[in-house]
Chains A and B, each alone.
Chain A
């Protein structure tokens, strides 16, 4: 596929640039370079249960409460309630729903300077490159939000890696659409 070839070219360009930069090896050993690794899995479905339906309905209501919230604190409180909902067994769909709740909560908290660090603490562990993410728009959105928060926190390495990973998720989604 053409996209795959151009991605290969992109990687090649990046590697060449990295290899040609005389200062590339001088970085502090404690500095983490941008990590653009991404591992994706298809969103699975389980056998439907009443508990599963109740959970999804509760998440929908939580989002409704957040929409109706008059201020950031109320909205954040509603979204926290959503994240604290116990996930029923055999409900793989909950992964995407919880990722959206966490992303929205991070976006909400990130609107205040003092909330950026907390938002990063919430979102970053869910999106570490070692974890596989669902092949879904929610993953791309979460990574873009993580990149925005990292930029605000002056963590440029995390920002660059998150944006690059978000673009790779969207590329995989487009590929899925083309198939």
Chain B
């Protein structure tokens, strides 16, 4: 079953494709997708497939098992590429600009919560593994960046704005708050969430 292409970057060998298609039919698997083969032929397939495999199976990659897989048979390469392209076709349409922010929030939350099983005690502190720690740091950077994007004043500016609004409700000027006893609480609400202003 294993064959080698003399030139991996050239177009597909039709005799070879027919042979693979016959093999797939014999196994009861779906027909070959020519687009998948063309896509695969545009790259160094051996390297790319192994890289994808390593990404999908980090444990195997870390143990060196991926290296033992090379070289892949042509049929195996075709199967891997077809699965990759199938997944690309399913996933790609779901990503849109409008849902990107919500997706990020969901992913970041999932990342934060997924850290639960990764944490383990070290020397009486609540430290975790370096990899998990790096993930938490990345989550922190994302949270800080998201916070910077939330509108609203803070600290002195916030207190000054609130004082002015409160004084207006009280019927006072914020610079001359002791001259009147009028009271009016029907004005703009300083208690509204800061980001919603």
Among candidates A10, A23, A154, residue contacting B117 with C-beta atoms closer than 8 Å: A23
A47 touches B183 (CB 8 A): yes
Contacts of A69 in B (CB 8 A): none
Between A and B, 10 residue pairs with Cβ closer than 8 Å are A14-B114, A34-B119, A36-B109, A53-B163, A63-B159, A138-B194, A155-B127, A160-B112, A163-B142, A177-B195
A144 touches B147 (CB 8 A): yes
User: Which residues of A line the B interface, CB within 8 A?
Assistant: 2-3, 6-7, 9-11, 13-14, 17-18, 21, 23-24, 26-28, 30-34, 36, 42-45, 47-50, 52-54, 56-57, 59-60, 63-64, 66-67, 92-93, 96-97, 100, 104, 134-138, 140-141, 143-144, 147-148, 151, 154-161, 163-164, 166-168, 170-171, 173-174, 176-177
Contact A156 B128, CB 8 Å, known A151-B140, A163-B139? yes
A42 touches B193 (CB 8 A): yes
B105 touches A33 (CB 8 A): no
In the complex, whether B20 has a CB less than 8 A from a CB of chain A is: no
B196 touches A177 (CB 8 A): yes
Contacts of A56 in B (CB 8 A): 159, 162-163, 166
A10 to B170, CA, bound (A): 46
Starting from the known contacts A14-B113, A138-B158, A170-B147, 14 additional A-B residue pairs (CB-CB under 8 Å) come to A27-B119, A52-B170, A56-B159, A63-B159, A67-B156, A93-B162, A134-B193, A137-B147, A137-B194, A148-B140, A151-B137, A154-B125, A167-B105, A167-B142
Query: Smallest CB–CB gap between B154 and chain A, Å?
Result: 6
In the complex, whether B59 has a CB less than 8 A from a CB of chain A is: no
A59 to B160, CA, bound (A): 8
**Considering only CB atoms, which chain A residue lies closest to B128 in the complex?**
A156
Number of interface residues of B (CB under 8 A): 66
A100 to B18, CA, bound (A): 70
Counting residue pairs across A and B whose Cβ atoms lie within 8 Å, the total is 230
User: Which residues of B line the A interface, CB within 8 A?
Assistant: 99, 101-103, 105-110, 112-121, 125-128, 132-133, 136-137, 139-140, 142-144, 146-147, 150-152, 154-156, 158-160, 162-163, 166-167, 169-170, 172, 174, 177-178, 181, 183-185, 189-196
Among candidates B99, B117, B155, B163, residue contacting A24 with C-beta atoms closer than 8 Å: B117
A11 to B127, CA, bound (A): 23
> Shortest 8 CB-CB distances between A and B: which pairs?
A164-B112, A63-B156, A14-B113, A45-B191, A21-B117, A6-B106, A10-B110, A60-B159
